Structure 1
Amino acid sequence: QNGKIVNAAKSVSIPDNAIVIDLQGKSIYPSFIDLYSDFGIEKPERSTRRGRSPQYDPTRTGYYWNDHIMPEINAVEKFKFDNKKAEELRAAGFGAVNTHLQDGVARGTGTLVTLNSAGNDNDRILAHKSSQHFSFSRSIAKDQSYPSSVMGSMALLRQMYYDAEWYSKGNTKTKDLALEALIANRGLVSIFESKDKLNTIRAYKVGKLFNINYVILAGGYEYEKIAEVKATNASFILPVNFPDAYDVSNPYQAAYVTLADMRRWNQAPTNPKIFAENNIPFSLTTHDLKSPKDFMPNLLKAIEHGLDKTKALEALTTVPAKTLGKANEIGSLTKGSHANFLITSGDIFEKETIIYENWVQGNLNVINDKDQKDIRGEYNLMVAGKTFQLSIKGESGKPSAEIKQDTLTHKATLGYSKNWIDLSFTAEEETYRMTGIVPTTSDNFAGRLILPNGNESTFNATKTGPLEEKEKEEKEAKTLEVVPVTFPNLAFGNTTKPRQETLLFKNATVWTGEDVGILTETDVLIQNGKISRIGKNLSASNAKVIDGTGKHLTAGIIDEHSHIALSSVNEGGHNNSAEVTMEDVVDPDDIGIYRALAGGVTMAQLLHGSANPIGGRSAIIKLKWGENANNLLMSNAPKFIKFALGENVKQSNWGATETVRFPQTRMGVEQVFIDNFERAKNYETLKKSGKPFRYDEEMEVMVEILNGERFISCHSYVQSEINMLMKVAEQFDFTINTFTHILEGYKLADKMKEHGILGASTFSDWWGYKFEVNDAIPYNAAIMYDNGVTVGINSDDGEMIRRLNQEAAKTVKYGNVPEEEAWKMVTINPAKMLRIDNRVGSIKEGKEADIVLWNDHPLSMYA
C-alpha cells in the first residue's frame, strides 16, 4: 500500500479494497540491491589533451591541490534516470542501486535509487548521499600528471586525509571546498574500488592508518590471498565477471595462454564460496559485466561451484541494505519496507526458474508473463495435409522453434506473447505462415494458416512429449573439479607455503665471506632460520641432511639495485616523490622472484626508478617465493630512499613534450636537492616549535635524511654530478650512503672514500644504452676496489639478476680482483651498503640462513 509493505505473514488481515493475486506454486523474494553501480550517471569524457606537455598544476580554484581528488562531487546532482538500463537491471532481479561517478581517486558521494520507472526522482531517491567513493585510479577527464602510479595514489590519499584533519581544526584561512566536502561526509560508508587482490590489501593499509573501514570492491581473485583478505576484517563487494573459457584449439595461440590464466578460469567462480566459508561479509554486484543479463548465469556458476544459496540471497539483499544503513527500507519483506520484490516460478537460484515480475516501490514491472503457458516441447504439426515435426525450445518467455520433415531441418520464426503464437517457416521453397491462440486447458493448439499461394487454411499442433534430449551415457553426478591454489597461484608455485626446517649441509666447500675465507669439506647446521654451527663432522637430531660433496655453499646473493616484484616503479608526477614507498607496491607473485632465486639471489633492494631527482623510499625484501607481500619485507630493515642524477631526471630522453617540469638541466638538479633540504629544515623547525603544523609526508622523509635516519642510494653516472651531490650532502651535514650505477666512479674513487660513502654499486660491463655512460670502462669496479671503496655489483634488470654470479666474475677477468673479493661484491658488500651485514651476507654462526648450494664454482658460468 502506497509503495510500502504493510504486512508479510502466513495469516494477515486483508483490507476490503485490496487486489488479491493468487501466486499458488510461485515464490516471492526481495528485489536485489547493487552496491556498486554508475546507473544514471553519464560517463566523463576522456580528456583530449593527451600527447601535449604534461600538466603539473591543478585547474580548479578553491578546491584541493590535486584535480584527481573530487570529494565534492555528488552523484545525485549528475543523476538522470535511464529507463532502458533500469529495465535491464529489473530483468536481472534488481530493484535498487547505489550509484556514483566512477572516475578519479576521491570520487565524491553516491546516491541510493530505486529502479522505479513509474515514479519520479523524489520517489526513487532513497538517499541523496549514501556513500563516499575512492580508488587508486586517476580521473580520465583530468590531466594533472600526479599521481602516475598506484603508490602515488596511495600517498595522495594519505596526504588528503592528513590535510583534512589539519583543515578540520581550523588551522588555515584558505578555503578548500574539496576538503570541506570530505569532512562533511565522514559519517558515510566509504567504498573503495580496488579491482585487484593486491590493491585490496593496499586499500586496507590506507584505511587502517586513518581508522577508516573501507567496503572494498574486489577484483575477483581474492581467493588466492584469502588469509590476508580475512585479516583485514573488511566487508567486500564481489563481482561475478568470471573469465570465459580460452580457445586453445590453435596450438600457436594456445601457447600464449599461461597456466595462471587457465587456473583463474577454473578457480574464479569459487571466489564467493571461499568468502562465505571464511565468514567474510560480502555483497554481489553487476559491475564489470558486459550486460546485466550476464549476472544470473554467472551467479548460478558460483552456486554450482559451492556458494550457498542463502549466502547468495543475503549478498544481494540484507547485506547491501545493512551496509548503507537502509535495512529497514530495502532488502527484506518486512513491514514498512519499500515494496521491492520479485515473483518467480520457483527457487530463484535454479537454472530453469523464471522471473515473472519485479515490483519496485509497489509498481509492477512484467519480466515474463506469469499467466503465459510454457509451450516448450515436441509437436506433430499438420499443415495443408503435410506432417512436420515441431520442436519449441529456448526460454519459456522467449521460445524458439525448429521444423523437421524426415531428415530435413527447416529454419522457423516463432513469436509468442500473451498465449498468442505466430509461426512461419519455409520448406521446399514454399513459405507457411500461422497464427493461433494456445488454450490454457490443453497442450495442443491450432489456428489460421496462410498457404504459399496466399489462400487461408488451418493448422493444428499436437504435443507428443517434452523436448528430446540428446542421449547421454548415464554417469554418476560428480563435483566440478577445481584445481588447488598454489603459492603463488601460477607456474612454479608451491603446493604449500615453505616452512623453516633444521638442515645439515655436509662436506661442502663453504665460501664464508669472512676472514676465515673458504673452508673445504665443511658442515653447516641451520636451525630456526639461523646459521647455528659451522665445522667438521657435525650432527643434529631431526635434521634433514643435504650432501654437499663436490658442491659449493655460499651466502645468498644480494642485489642492491632491483626493480623486480613491484607493481609500480616510478612516480614521475613531481620532481620529489619522497612520499611514496616501494613497500606499498611489492608484488609477491612476480615470476622474477623465482627466476632470481634460480640464479642464487636471496635478497634485493627494490628501488624507485630514476624519473625524478628525489624518488621514493625503497623496500628491502627476502625472496620468499609463495609468501605475501608483507612477509617478503625484511623485518627492522634500515630505511633507504632513491635519488637520481643525469639525463633521466632532467628528462632529456623523455621526448619533445617533456620540457616543462623543473629541472631541465644538471644545474637545476642541484637546486632541487638544495631547495628540498632547506624546506625540510624549515619544516622541522616549525614542527619542534610546538606551533600547529601541516603534516607533510614528503617533508617527513626529507627530515629523516637530514637526521641520519634514512639513507640515500643515488642513481649516478657523470663525475661532476657525483661531486655535486656529495657537496650538497656536506652542506647539510650528512653523508651519501651509496652511489649506484656509478660508471664514472673510477674517476673519483678517492673523493668518494674521503666523503665517507658506504659503497659503490655498479655494473660490470653494461653501458651501451645512452650517451652519459660514454666514459664507462670494464675496469671500474676493480679500480674503485683498489682505492678502498666497498664495491658491489647490481643488476637493475630482471634478466641480469639471474646471473649476478657471472657479473661478479667479470671483475676477476677485467681487473684481476681476487675471487673471494669478487664474490663479496654480490654478498657481504651489498649487505654493508644496506647496513644489514650484521644479519646477512656471509656464512657466520648466528647470522640469518640465506644460503645457496651450487653444483660448481659459484663464479663459473656453468654453476
Structure 2
Amino acid sequence: MHIDLRRLGLAGGLVAGSLSAAQAQQPATFPRNGVYDQRPGVYAFTHATIFTDYKTRLQDATLLIRDGKVEAVGPNVKIPAGAVVQDLKGRFIYPGFVDLYASYGVPEVKAPERQGRRAGPQMESTKAGAYDWNQAVHPEVNAAELFRVNADQADVYRRLGFGAVLTHQPDGIARGTAALVSLNTTRRESEVLLQDRAAATFSFDKGSSTQDYPSSLMGSIALLRQSYLDADWNQRNPTREQNLSLRALNQQRGLPAIFEVRDKLSALRADKLGDEFGVQYIIKSRGDEYQRVNDLKATKAPLILTLNFPDAYQVDDVYDAARVSLQELKHWEMAPANAALLAKAGVPFAFSAADLKDKKKFLPNLRKAVQYGLSEEQALQALTATPAALVNVQDRVGALRPGMEANFLVCSGRLLADDNVLLDNWVQGERYQLSTIPADYRGVYSLQVGSQPEMKLLLAGKPESPELKIAKAPGDTVKGSLSVNGELATLVFNPSPKTKGSGAIRLSGYYTAEGRTFQGDGQLPDATNVKWSARRLEEASRAARRDSVKAPVPPQLGQVQYPFVAYGRTEVPTQQTVLIKNTTVWTSEAAGKLENTDVLLQNGKITKIGRNLSVPSGGRSIDGTGKHLTPGIIDEHSHIAIAEGVNEGTQSVTSEVRISDVVDPEDVDVYRDLAGGVVAAQLLHGSANPIGGQSALIKLRWGMTPEQMKIAGAPGFIKFALGENVKQSNWGEANVVRFPQTRMGTEQVFVDAFTRAKEYEQEWKAWNKLSKAKQKKGEAPRRDLELEALVEILNRQRFITCHSYVQSEINMLMGVSDRMGFPVNTFTHILEGYKVADKMKQRNINASTFSDWWAYKNEVRDAIPYNAGIMHDVGLNVALNSDDAEMSRRLNQEAAKMVKYSHLSEEEALKMVTINPAKMLHLDRNMGSIREGKDADVVLWTDNPLSVYARAERTFVDGREMFSLENDQQLRQQMQQERLRIVQKMLEAKKGGAATQLPTAKPTKHYHCDTLGEEKELDQ
C-alpha cells in the first residue's frame, strides 16, 4: 500500500521533529528507554527531474530512499508497499552539497591573554603531556573526539544546500585530523559521523599558541619542515622518544592533507613544501588564484575555493578613491571570475562557504560566479563530486546512487536559476524544510481601470517580490508597487509622475488563480471610484519569460597583470636581441671606461663589445649617444621582497629558517629598485639573533614567480649578527629571558652552536661509514636543519654575512672563527671597519658598509664617512649596501659619495655597487661587470651614473628590459585609465544597489634589520 503525503496533509512540508523524529532510530549499540518504535523510513519521490550526479540528469524519475540511504533512482523504480510517496512533478532533486572546510560542531580555540608587555617571551611549550615541543604543532587533535551536534550551526549550512561538511579545529600549524559529518541534527554524534580521520589539516598560522616561535612566515615553514623530518626519525627510532604529536603526524601520512593559506603565493609555498615530503596538499585558498592560474595549475594541487567576493569601495569622494590600491580595485572586479578562470585552465576545485561572515551570500555569490563564466555543471561538480572525491567518500556523499547517504535537495526549479527556491534539504533521510514556494504572479497583463484606455502591466523580478511596471503606450512606462497579503492585492502607481500635482491611482482587490486575473475596486487621484481588472496575457508572458532566461552576457573584465599590483604588465618582458650603440661603457673590469662603444645583448648574455657593430636580424638598436652604460647595481644587503616577517628572533639560533621560502615578487620596491638601476640583491634575515636565517639571492625579475626570481645555482648565505639587537638591549624590560643578554653571551652562542654542529657532523660521518647491514640494525641520527646549515658553513658551502658595528665584537667573531674553523665571508654595516681592516685583510673578509650613516644609535658613535675608503686602501673588497628600500634605488649616488669622502676614482666608486658586491656574493663569474659572456644585466643612464641628475633610462635583467622611462610613462597612463574605468564601474554598482565598504589606507611596510614581526620595530 502506498501512502500519499497529500492525503496526510503533509505535501506542503514534512519537517524534522514530526514524522522524521518519531521514526528516528537509536544506534544499534544503545539501550532504549521505552517501547521500540522501529519504522522502515521508506520514501518515494516521483515525477521529478533528478540529477544523480553533477552531469547525469533524469527526467520524470523516482528517487527511493530507505533508512537514510538511497535504495533506487531512475525512471522505472518500483515503489514498495508502505512507502511514503511525494509527487514532485515540476521539481528538481540534486545531491546534497559537501563543504570541505568547516569548523561545525567543534569548539573554538582562543589564545589566552598574555600579561601585557611585562609577561616576557614564552620560549617553551606549556602544554602538558608527551607532545611536541611547539604548541602550534598538535596533529594529535582529532575533530571527531571534539565534535558535538549543533542545531543552530547545522541549520545555517543546510539552508545553503549542504548535507555534509568536513569539520576540524582551525588552529595552529599542524592542526590535526578532520572528520566528515552529516548535518542531521536528530541523530547522535555516532550516527552523523560519516568518516573519522577523513583528512589532515595544516596552515602557516600558529593560531592560539602563545609560544614565541615561530614569529614569521619563514619560521612557520621551517617548523613544519623540521616536524616532518622529526616524524620520519621518530618512526624509524620509536624507542628513543615517545612523542604523541610526531606519532600522530606519521599516522596521518596516508590521509588527504588540506592546507589553508592566505594568498596565491603561499599556496605555491605550501605546495613546494609538500613536494619535499611527497605530500600533495589540497589547498584551501582565499580567492586570488586567478592571478597565478598557470603556476597553480603546475602544482597539480586541488583547491578549495571560497566565494567571499569583496564589496565595492565607496569611491564617490576622490580622496577616498585615492586610498584604494589598483590591486584592490582589480580584485573587486575579477574575484567573481576566479572559479571560471580556474575551470577553463583545468584546475580541480571544490567550493566552500568558509570565510563568509554572512553565509547567506553563498548562493548569490555562487550564481555570480556562474554569471562570470562558470558553467552550472562545473558549479555543481565543485559542490558535490569533487569535494567527495578529494577526501575519498565518493561512495557515500556527493551523488545519488544506491547505497549512498540520502542527502539531497528539493528545488522549485533549476538549481542556479534566479527564481529557484530551495524547498527541502534531506540529510540521511531526514527532511528539513527550508521554505515554501511563493505564489508566482509574474507575467504580462492587460490592465483595465474604469473607462480609461487599456494599459499593459508587467510583473517581473523575483516571485516573492515582483517589480511592477505600467505601460500606457509604447515608450511611456511608469513604475508602481504591488503588495499581496493572502488573497488580497494592492497596486499603486502614478500614471503621470512628471506632471506637477498628479496623484497616484490606488487599486485593491484579489487574485483568481484559475483565471490568472486580478480584479477589484480602485480610486483615481480625483477620488473617482472605479472597477479594475488585470488579465494575464499568456503568450506575451511566455515570450517575456523566454527573454528572461536567456544566458546573461558575462561581464567585461580587465586583464590579469604580472605582478597583480601597480606597475604590473599583462606579459612579462621577454629576452630580446638589443644593440646599444655609441655609448660610454663603464665595464667595472680592467678595461675601464670605453667611449663610443657598442654592446650587444643576445639570449640573455652580453655577446659582443666593440665599435660599429651591426644589429642581428630581428634585433633592436638603441642609440646610446651621450649616455652611459653600466653593469646593473647589486645590493648586497636588502630586505625588500620578503613576505610576513624579516626576523625569526625568537631563539638565539634560527639557521633553519630560509628567506628563500618567503620571497615576495609583488613588493613594489622591486620595481622601484629597477628604476634605480638595481638588478640583483641579497635578501637578508634581520639582526634579532646571533645566528639568523639563510639568505636568498635574487634578480629583480619583476612579474615572475618567487622561484623564478631566485638566482639558479647561487651559493648559500646566512645572516649572523652582533651588538645591541642580538642581546636585546632595546627590547624592553620584559625581554630578559632569551639568551644571550650580554656581548659575552653572544660569543658563547657562536661557540656552542659550532661545537654542536661539529658533533652533529661527526655523528653523521660515523653513520655513513657503517655498512648497510649495520645501518639497518642501528638508529640513524636525527636530521637537524639548524645544525645542517652550520655544517655547511664549516664546509665552505654556506657563507656568513655578519651584521656588525663595534671593533671589539668584530675582533671577537674573527677570534671565534679562527678557533672553530669557519670563515666569515662579509662584515656588513661594519662602521668601525677602518679600525680592524688589517685583520680582515689577513682573513680575506669582505666589507659591505654604508656611505655616511652615523649617529643613529650608540653603537655607531665612532662611524666616519671615510670608512669605506680606508678599508679599500687597505686592500679589502668593499661594497656599499642599502639595508633600506628607499636608499636601495639610489645606490649610484651612495657610490658617488666615495669620490668625495675617499678620493676614489669614479670607476672604483662605481665598482662598490657592481663588481665588488658580485665578488662578495660569489656571483662575479656571471654578474657585476660588462664582459662578453656575462649575464645581460646592464643599465643605460641618461648621464654620468654618479651624477645626482642621472636617471636609469633602461634597466635590463637577463636581456629583458625590465624598466624604461618610456614604458614607465605608459604604465602610469594605463594604471590611471584602469583606475578610472573600475571606479566608474564601482559607482554604477553602488547605484544599482551593490554593497559597499569604506576604503582603508594600507601603508607599505618596509623591513629593516631590526624589524620584528609585522609591526614592532627596534632602533636601527
Equivalence for 2:440: 374
Mapped pair 1:29 → 2:94:
yes
Mapped pair 1:651 → 2:728:
yes
- With 665-674 and 78-87 compared, the bigger mean Cα shift is at 78-87
Tell me the CA shift for residue 399 of structure 1: 4.4
Equivalent position SS for 2:85: coil
Tell me the CA shift for residue 292 of structure 1: 2.0
Residue in structure 1 matching 2:306, options 239, 250, 255:
239
Residue in structure 2 matching 1:835, options 908, 911, 922:
922
Equivalence for 1:532: 607
Residue in structure 2 matching 1:10, options 59, 63, 75:
75
Cα distance in 1 between the residues matched to 2:666 and 2:732: 33
Tell me the CA shift for residue 674 of structure 1: 0.7
Cα distance in 1 between the residues matched to 2:489 and 2:857: 74
1:173-199, Cα deviation, whole Å (9 max, x unpaired): 321111121122222111000131010
Tell me the CA shift for residue 24 of structure 1: 1.6
Q: Gaps (5+ residues) in structure 1?
A: 383-388, 426-433, 448-458
Tell me the CA shift for residue 171 of structure 1: 4.8
Residue in structure 1 matching 2:703, options 599, 623, 626:
626
Residue in structure 2 matching 1:71, options 129, 139, 145:
139
| Kept in 2: contact 1:506–1:522 (CA 8 A) | yes
| Kept in 2: contact 1:390–1:401 (CA 8 A) | no
Query: Which amino acid is 1:155 matched to?
Result: A
Task: Label 1:119 to 1:476 Cα distance change in 2 as closer, same or farther (>3 A).
Answer: closer
Task: Label 1:506 to 1:6 Cα distance change in 2 as closer, same or farther (>3 A).
Answer: same
Tell me the CA shift for residue 782 of structure 1: 1.0
Aligned-residue identity in percent = 50
| Kept in 2: contact 1:114–1:124 (CA 8 A) | yes
Equivalence for 2:814: 726
Mapped pair 1:212 → 2:279:
yes
| Kept in 1: contact 2:480–2:491 (CA 8 A) | no
Cα distance in 2 between the residues matched to 1:206 and 1:14: 54
Cα distance in 2 between the residues matched to 1:550 and 1:595: 24
Cα distance in 2 between the residues matched to 1:390 and 1:251: 42
Residue in structure 2 matching 1:314, options 381, 387, 406:
381
Task: Label 1:130 to 1:478 Cα distance change in 2 as closer, same or farther (>3 A).
Answer: closer
Residue in structure 1 matching 2:749, options 672, 680, 702:
672
Equivalence for 1:559: 635
Equivalent position SS for 1:364: strand
Cα distance in 2 between the residues matched to 1:331 and 1:441: 40
Equivalence for 2:178: 110
| Kept in 2: contact 1:438–1:446 (CA 8 A) | yes
Mapped pair 1:714 → 2:802:
yes
Residue in structure 1 matching 2:122, options 55, 67, 70:
55
- Give matches, 1:189-338, under 5 Å: 189-338=256-405
Equivalence for 1:743: 831
Residue in structure 2 matching 1:179, options 246, 267, 271:
246
Task: Label 1:765 to 1:461 Cα distance change in 2 as closer, same or farther (>3 A).
Answer: farther
Equivalent position SS for 2:749: helix
Equivalence for 1:642: 719
| Kept in 2: contact 1:400–1:414 (CA 8 A) | no
Cα distance in 1 between the residues matched to 2:489 and 2:745: 80
Tell me the CA shift for residue 401 of structure 1: 9.7
Q: TM-score, normalised by structure 2?
A: 0.77
Query: Which amino acid is 2:557 matched to?
Result: V
Equivalent position SS for 2:759: helix
| Kept in 1: contact 2:353–2:359 (CA 8 A) | yes
Cα distance in 2 between the residues matched to 1:507 and 1:409: 73
Equivalent position SS for 2:250: helix
Equivalence for 1:854: 941
Equivalent position SS for 2:790: helix
- Give matches, 1:458-607, under 5 Å: 478-542=553-617, 543-567=619-643, 568-607=645-684
Equivalent position SS for 1:589: coil
Q: Gaps (5+ residues) in structure 2?
A: 1-65, 450-455, 493-506, 521-530, 768-778, 951-1020
Query: Aligned Cα RMSD in Å?
Result: 3.2
Cα distance in 2 between the residues matched to 1:446 and 1:659: 85
Task: Label 1:687 to 1:460 Cα distance change in 2 as closer, same or farther (>3 A).
Answer: farther
Tell me the CA shift for residue 424 of structure 1: 13
Tell me the CA shift for residue 85 of structure 1: 2.1
Cα distance in 1 between the residues matched to 2:468 and 2:558: 40
Cα distance in 2 between the residues matched to 1:241 and 1:528: 44
Cα distance in 2 between the residues matched to 1:312 and 1:585: 33
Residue in structure 2 matching 1:120, options 146, 164, 188:
188
| Kept in 1: contact 2:615–2:621 (CA 8 A) | no
Tell me the CA shift for residue 168 of structure 1: 0.8
| Kept in 2: contact 1:574–1:612 (CA 8 A) | yes
Tell me the CA shift for residue 354 of structure 1: 1.4
- With 121-130 and 325-334 compared, the bigger mean Cα shift is at 121-130
Number of equivalent positions: 833
Task: Label 1:55 to 1:442 Cα distance change in 2 as closer, same or farther (>3 A).
Answer: farther
Tell me the CA shift for residue 66 of structure 1: 0.5
1:129-172, Cα deviation, whole Å (9 max, x unpaired): 211100000122x2100111111111111111111111111254
| Kept in 2: contact 1:400–1:413 (CA 8 A) | no
Query: Which amino acid is 2:599 matched to?
Result: V
Task: Label 1:328 to 1:171 Cα distance change in 2 as closer, same or farther (>3 A).
Answer: closer
1:716-759, Cα deviation, whole Å (9 max, x unpaired): 011111111111111111221000011111111111112221x1
1:817-856, Cα deviation, whole Å (9 max, x unpaired): 1111100000000001001111110111111111000010
Cα distance in 2 between the residues matched to 1:560 and 1:64: 38
Query: Which amino acid is 1:67 matched to?
Result: Q
| Kept in 2: contact 1:487–1:496 (CA 8 A) | yes
- With 851-860 and 688-697 compared, the bigger mean Cα shift is at 688-697
- Give matches, 1:660-809, under 5 Å: 660-690=737-767, 692-757=780-845, 759-809=846-896
Tell me the CA shift for residue 378 of structure 1: 9.8
Mapped pair 1:351 → 2:418:
yes
Cα distance in 1 between the residues matched to 2:189 and 2:508: 42
Task: Label 1:29 to 1:858 Cα distance change in 2 as closer, same or farther (>3 A).
Answer: same
Cα distance in 2 between the residues matched to 1:171 and 1:124: 35
1:446-502, Cα deviation, whole Å (9 max, x unpaired): 99xxxxxxxxxxx999777889x9xx9xx9975411111111122211221111111
Cα distance in 1 between the residues matched to 2:478 and 2:578: 74
Equivalence for 2:30: none
Cα distance in 2 between the residues matched to 1:445 and 1:540: 83
- Give matches, 1:808-827, under 5 Å: 808-827=895-914
Tell me the CA shift for residue 20 of structure 1: 2.1
Tell me the CA shift for residue 442 of structure 1: 5.3
| Kept in 2: contact 1:414–1:422 (CA 8 A) | yes
Tell me the CA shift for residue 601 of structure 1: 0.3
Tell me the CA shift for residue 27 of structure 1: 1.1
Mapped pair 1:83 → 2:151:
yes
Cα distance in 2 between the residues matched to 1:463 and 1:698: 82
Equivalence for 1:456: none
| Kept in 2: contact 1:620–1:634 (CA 8 A) | yes
Query: Which amino acid is 2:624 matched to?
Result: G
Query: Which amino acid is 1:696 matched to?
Result: D
Cα distance in 1 between the residues matched to 2:759 and 2:75: 74
Cα distance in 2 between the residues matched to 1:375 and 1:721: 86
Tell me the CA shift for residue 118 of structure 1: 2.5
Task: Label 1:403 to 1:768 Cα distance change in 2 as closer, same or farther (>3 A).
Answer: farther
Equivalence for 1:451: none
